[in-house]
Structure 1
Amino acid sequence: MKADINLKLIAGNANMDLAQAIARRMSVYRGMPVELANARVERFNDKEIFVEIFDNVRGEDVFILQSTCNPANDNLMELLIIADALKRSSASRITAVVPYFGYARQDRRTAARTPISAKLVANLMTEAGIDRVLTLDLHAGQIQGFFDIPVDNLYASPVFAMDIRHHFEDLSKVTIISPDVGGVARARELAKRLNLGLAIVDKRRSRPGEVDEMTIIGEVEGRTCIIVDDICDTAGTLCKAAQLLKDEGAEAVHAYITHGVLSGPAVERVKNSVMESLVITDSIPLSDEAKVAHNIRTVSVAPMLAQAILNVANDTSVSSLFSEQTLRPIYEAFYRFD
């Protein structure tokens, strides 16, 4: 690995804890301090966003660390304005590291006269001067095709697989659950990693956000069920699925969700649900309420993102991080591997 690569990290305000964790991990990997660039990202009285970068970035390979989570519009504009400032300051390459890609659920037209907002966001990011995107568990993989620049989509499943092996002693009693038909591929991929069975919760909706009927396809009686999905927003469907699994004889229900949006009543619903644990990544910062919830915990994707940034900077493989075997040395400080 080239220790003298011209690499700089700059963070927006969306998830400063994750940005600092990434910088710390990169310092460990490189054997030299890696600091966030000296910059200010602030708002005028009318909420206009202003960016000033104090470090010299001319000729540098710059990585912007910014999830476009709540408030999605503010965080997206921060990302675009930071990119514009870097472009006008002659950065050689600008990579947007967007652990949670907002607007990803608007990836197609669901009715007449509706937008494809994910495509619009892709256009905005490209026009702002971003040369490459590094993200995590896109809601729809085809969003990569909305960009005319390289997009690396990392997966939380290998990290989840390591965490499940660490926390569940007898995997022979575990079944992976897809909370809907659309998420079967994601759940199947994790089940395959762990050599576990798969069941599906089939939902029928009369309108968006409202579930009329839920049925289970597969055997869950006497099993420890792990629900796997990419986004938990209001947690209504997740908690209903957990209750249905318990009603059908599941011994215990857990959930592994990549992006914990947890808006509105979500945290209270999870706390009062039958789920013994909801495990989410730190792609989105947790609210104070979620931090103290007895059955919500996080696993960090900072080690994986830090390594991915170094791989991009060194022009080496990012897809190697899809492998548990590759990630194990990176996560040895988190888990004990026998």
Structure 2
Amino acid sequence: MTIIMSASASQALAGALARKLEVPLAGVDYDRFPDGELFVSLNDPEIVRDERVILVGSTASSDAHIELLLLQDAVREAGAGSVVTVIPYMGYGRQDKAFEEGQPVSARAVARAISTGTDDVVVVNPHEDAVCDFFEPRATPVDAAGVLAGALPADLTDPVFLSPDSGAIELAETVSKAYGDGETDYFEKVRHSGTDVEITPSDVDVAGRDVVVTDDIIATGGTMSEAVSVLHERDVGRVFVTCVHPLLARSAHSRLVRAGVEAIYGTDTLERPVSRVSVAPALADVLGTEQ
């Protein structure tokens, strides 16, 4: 039997995945000791004995990383037959190389730690698929971008799907294909200095057309808000923003609204107010074959 368990940051997604796979969602208590250290406790340890346990936990903070490691250890201690760790959003995953001499490869460091407590790993839309090579055994990347189409209005006018750069055009193509209509293009970035980046749409005419800007993650929203402002200078219709991972740190949401974004749609890899669609179906396609 397969059993789903959730870290505290991914409870809605874990529930959706359990419903999709039609398997039990086991209870977990999350707490802190008086000194601030994290604590997890399985409600019914016996239920996992000799079973396949799928742990679902995004790691958007250092605490979330530690909590996931504790949860892995708890199910191992309870006698789980096998452990599959699903990372809907992988924190530290964008640091896939040392930017300067003497710096760590952060994605590798956290991947090594997670690998010690699991038999398999699944990562939703890692910043680069190569990050999965840091896990032992190698993690499986899952592309959930297609589910974003389900959040979009059905009445988009002659839509254009734009990716943040030419290297991410496949993201825009995936969402456009899932929506069933639309042209795809990308933004061109010209970096004049470390902080001065000029952003323009590549070739497509956006005048009077609805535009969907797609990205894997929105962090501060700075670059994307600049891109949206350029679109409005070109008499665009409505502008929608979609992303797999709606991190939306600090004032990102209001920054995008001020730039003229009609709506922001994300998935539940990070459970935010804009999380309008679930990646559970995409995960179920990968995980459901081994029940």
1:148 maps to what in 2?
A: 136
Secondary structure at the aligned position of 1:109 is classed as coil
The match for 1:61 is 52
Kindly tell me: are residues 262 and 163 of structure 1, through their superposed partners in 2, closer, same or farther at Cα, counting changes over 3 Å?
closer
Alpha carbons 1:118, 1:143 under 8 Å: kept:
yes
CA distance in 2, matches of 1:119, 1:181: 26
Q: Secondary structure at the match of 2:264?
A: strand
Distance 1:111 1:248, change over 3 A: farther
Question: Aligned equivalents of 1:185 and 1:211: distance in 2?
Answer: 26
* C-alpha deviation, 1:228, in angstroms: 0.8
Question: Which residue number in structure 1 is paired with residue 279 of structure 2?
Answer: 301
How many Å separate the matches in 2 of 1:297 and 1:271?
Answer: 16
Structure 1 position 306, deviation (Å): 4.1
The within-5 A match list for 1:168-207 is 168-169=154-155, 173-191=158-176, 194=180, 196-205=182-191, 206-207=193-194
Alignment of 1:78-227 (within 5 A): 78-127=67-116, 129-164=117-152, 167-169=153-155, 173-191=158-176, 194=180, 196-205=182-191, 206-207=193-194, 210-219=195-204, 220-227=206-213
Identity, in percent, stands at: 30
CA contact (8 A) 2:163 2:169 kept: yes
Q: 1:181, 1:307 → 2: CA distance?
A: 28
1:148, 1:253 → 2: CA distance? 41
Query: Do the aligned partners of 2:156 and 2:210 also contact (CA within 8 Å) in 1?
Result: no
The Cα shift of 1:265 comes to 0.7
Residues 125 and 244 in structure 2, CA contact (< 8 A), matched pair in contact too:
yes
Contact 1:277–1:297, Cα closer than 8 Å, also in 2: no
Write the distance in 2 (CA, Å) between the matches of 1:215 and 1:303.
Answer: 34
The separation in 2 between residues aligned to 1:211 and 1:64, in whole angstroms, is 42
Which TM-score applies when normalising by structure 1? 0.77
How many residue pairs get matched? 286
Q: Which residue of 2 aligns with 1:330?
A: none
User: Do the aligned partners of 2:146 and 2:174 also contact (CA within 8 Å) in 1?
Assistant: no
CA separation of 1:18/1:170 partners in 2, compared to 1, >3 Å: closer, same or farther?
closer
Residues 268 and 275 in structure 2, CA contact (< 8 A), matched pair in contact too: no
**CA offset digits 1:89-147 (Å, max 9, x no partner):** 321111111111111111122222221111111111112x2111122111111111112
- Report the equivalent of 2:228: 242
Does the alignment pair 1:37 with 2:19? no
Q: Residue type matched to 2:163 in 1? A: S
Distance 1:163 1:11 in 2: 25
Which runs of 5 or more structure 1 residues have no equivalent in the other structure? Answer: 1-5, 315-338
**Which among 279, 298, 310 is matched to residue 265 of structure 2?**
279
Matches of 2:34 and 2:287 in 1, distance apart? 35
- How far off its partner does 1:64 sit? 0.7
The letter of the residue matching 1:131 is D
CA distance in 2, matches of 1:192, 1:271: 26
**Quick check: 229-238 or 193-202, which moved more?**
193-202
Q: Which of 29, 46, 49 is the matching residue for 2:35?
A: 46
The answer on 1:259 being equivalent to 2:249 is no
Following superposition, the deviation at residue 55 of structure 1 comes to 2.3
Change in Cα spacing, 1:163 to 1:264, as seen in structure 2 (3 Å) is closer
